[in-house]
Amino acid sequence: MNTIKLYEQDAYQTTFKARVLSCEEVRLNEKIVNKEITNNEITNKRITNKEIANEEIANKVYQVVLDQTSFFPEEGGQSPDRGTMRESGQDAGLVRVLNVQIRKDVIVHTVLGKLEVGQEVWGDVDWKHRFYNMQQHSGEHIFSGLVHSTFGYDNVGFHLSDSGVTMDFNGAMTEEQILQIEGQANEAITKNIEVLVTYPGKAELMEMDYRSKIAIEGQTRIVTIPGYDRCACCAPHVQRTGEIGMLKVVNTQNYKGGVRVSILCGFRALADYQEKLTQVSRISALLSAKPELTADAVEKMKSELTAVKQQLIGAKQSLIIQKIQQMTDSERNVCMFEQDMEAMVMRVAVNTMMETHGGYCGIFVGNDETGYHYIVGTKDGDARELGNLLRERFQAKGGGKPEMIQGSMQASEKDIREVFRSFV
């Protein structure tokens, strides 16, 4: 029997009564602790958890089907509702809802605890999570509708998670155009327009112009924001656009010939602003600069650090040349070891050694514990032959040309020196 979707009748209903039609235990593949289970960690009778603890959960996990539910399942790119269930009665304990999925119009709730088949239960939807998702989804409709009417692009990819909303449009937009849409979307929000939900008949639907990413079987639910968007959608929405609060674009990137836009709406946008303001304030204090001048201060610091780095590279280069000059010119197959050195200075060192030493000249930067990066050069041989020996002895990685090779490996300084001394 198909589950009656109470959330379609009233998105603001958070408490409901239903009857348990089935309750089947989930076979656990892993041992976990209750507190480590998150909302999306149980799907299709499998629990995944990267931080597995060596103890069993206190209550077993079950998949429950009710005759009706206010819990919105993971559907249409949107994350599922959260909340609890409890059997009728004052002494009934709360059963946590871990996940909600839909399978051919039957909604399956994965819960932490058993519910008796045939019993009436009360469900309580986490209103904060539900409303935050409603703000995001209604905001996305306005944004996507404006992009469609302004540029003719379709939203071909949509994902609404607890951390944000991403929309993939099949056409490119400039930063200025995206900000234009953002401004128009916020104007729509301030107009406090009523959000309409209708179920048109087949004849009316055929004459209707609306957005839809997929072919829909059965009754089509249309969400309309007059003047901005009309779209087929199964998810809960706010009653009026003013409840969205605000819409902010937080990221854009080129994606598959179009553009991926990330937005936040309402309280999640406010939380994002508060977090970023906190970070800017910390940076401001560290740089002793006004918040609005932190970017200039960072740019200045970056320039100063670049100048200091160049001076340091020059000093290292002079020091390494001095060390090379102290070597006996008649030596062949020489190598040097340093703790830290830029690749440019390493090349200077090898080239300098090659001017006065025959055979193979190498420099190794690092230590015995973490391994070494190396450059080896020669004027009278093939550096790749030594590279093959390093690969054979130490599983070294890298390659190059006959005159010079470079790479990395894990070995001791003692063993590397022995290879250089013995190589002919």
Query: What torsion, rounded to 10 degrees, do the Cα atoms 286, 291, 295, 301 define?
Result: -30
The number of helix segments (H) and strand segments (E) in the chain equals: 9, 22
Provide the residue type at 371 as one letter.
Answer: G
C-alpha–C-alpha distance, residues 342 and 21, integer Å: 68
Identify whether residues 331 and 365 lie together within a single domain: yes
| Same domain membership, residue 121 and residue 219 | no
Compute the radius of gyration of the chain from its Cα atoms. Answer: 32
* Final residue of a structural domain among 283, 306, 337: 283
- CA–CA dist 323, 343 (Å, integer): 17
Pull the structure tokens for residue 373. Answer: 């990066």
Q: Could you say which of 93, 125, 157 is where a domain stops?
A: 125
Q: What is the pLDDT of residue 39?
A: 39
Is 211 part of a structural domain of the chain?
yes
Q: What pLDDT is attached to residue 219?
A: 82
Q: What is the pLDDT of residue 52?
A: 30
**Domain CATH code at residue 73:** 2.40.30.130
* 3-state SS assignment for residue 62: strand
Claim to verify: residue 321 and residue 208 sit in the same structural domain: no
For residue 44, count CB atoms less than 10 angstroms from its CB and return exposed for 0-12, middle for 13-18, buried for 19 or more: exposed
Clarify whether residues 147 and 88 are in a common domain: no
Residue 334 within any structural domain of the chain: yes
Domain boundary among 79, 109, 125: 125
Per-residue pLDDT of the chain (424 residues; tens, 9 = 90+): 799 999 999 999 999 999 999 999 887 654 443 333 443 444 433 344 433 333 345 567 999 999 999 999 998 889 999 999 998 765 567 889 999 999 888 999 999 988 999 999 999 999 999 999 999 999 999 999 999 999 999 999 999 998 899 999 999 999 999 999 999 999 999 999 999 999 998 888 888 888 886 666 678 899 999 999 999 999 999 999 999 999 999 999 998 889 999 999 999 999 999 999 999 998 888 888 888 888 888 989 999 999 998 898 888 889 889 888 888 777 788 899 999 888 989 999 999 999 888 889 999 999 999 999 999 999 888 999 999 999 999 999 999 999 999 999 999 999 999 988 887 6
Same domain, 87 and 73: yes
327 and 222 within one domain = no
For residues 58 and 215, is the Cβ–Cβ distance under 8 A?
no
Asked if the structure places residue 290 within a domain, the reply is: no
Residue 134 amino acid letter: M
- Digit-coded pLDDT (tens) for 93-124: 788 999 999 988 899 999 998 899 999 999 99
Task: Compute the distance between CA of residue 76 and CA of residue 81 in angstroms, rounded to an integer.
Answer: 13
Q: What H or E segment, with its residue span, contains residue 69? A: strand 68-69
Inside any domain, residue 303: no
Q: What is the pLDDT of residue 162?
A: 87
Closest residue by Cα to residue 335 from 422, 273, 400: 422
| pLDDT at residue 31 in the model | 40
**Considering the domain boundaries, does residue 304 fall inside one?**
no
The verdict on 86 and 185 lying in the same domain is: no
Per the structure, the count of domains in the chain is: 3
Strand partners, 19: 120
Q: Are 279 and 136 contained in the same domain?
A: yes
Across the strands, what pairs with 371? 367
- Give the residue from 57, 67, 68 showing the smallest Cα distance to 25: 57
Q: How far is CA 296 from the centre of its chain?
A: 29
* Residue closest to 246 by CA, chosen among 238, 257, 254: 238
Write out the DSSP string of 58-111: SS-EEEEEESEE-PPPSBTTBPPP-EEEEESSTTPPPEEEEEEEEETTEEEEEE
> How far does the chain reach from its first CA to its final CA, in angstroms?
82
Q: Same domain, yes or no, for 142 and 255?
A: yes
In angstroms, the Cα distances linking 145 to 119, 188, 231, 262, 269 are: 44, 11, 8, 15, 20
How is the beta sheet containing 332-338 ordered, strand by strand? 332-338, 358-367, 371-378, 404-409, 397-401
Quote the CA–CA distance of 64 and 285 in Å, as a whole number.
Answer: 53
Is 233 part of a structural domain of the chain?
Answer: yes
- Same domain for 85 and 175, yes or no, is no
CATH number at residue 234: 3.30.980.10
The pTM score is 0.73
User: How far is residue 124's CA from residue 347's CA, in Å, rounded to a whole number?
Assistant: 67
Q: Does a structural domain hold residue 78?
A: yes
- 347 belongs to a structural domain: yes
Q: How far is CA 153 from CA 78, 94, 149, 157, 372, in A?
A: 21, 46, 8, 12, 52
Q: Within this chain, do residues 259 and 150 fall inside the same structural domain, yes or no?
A: yes
| Tokens matching residue 347 | 């090349």
Residue with tokens 């602003």: 273
Q: What is the DSSP letter of 213?
A: S
Distance CA 159, CA 149 (A): 21
Question: Which domain does 328 fall in, by range?
Answer: 315-422
The pLDDT value given to residue 216: 63
Q: Would you call 87 helix, strand, or coil by DSSP?
A: strand
Whichever domain contains 395, its CATH number is: 3.10.310.40
Q: Are residues 171 and 210 in the same domain?
A: yes
Alpha carbon distance 376, 274 (integer Å):
52
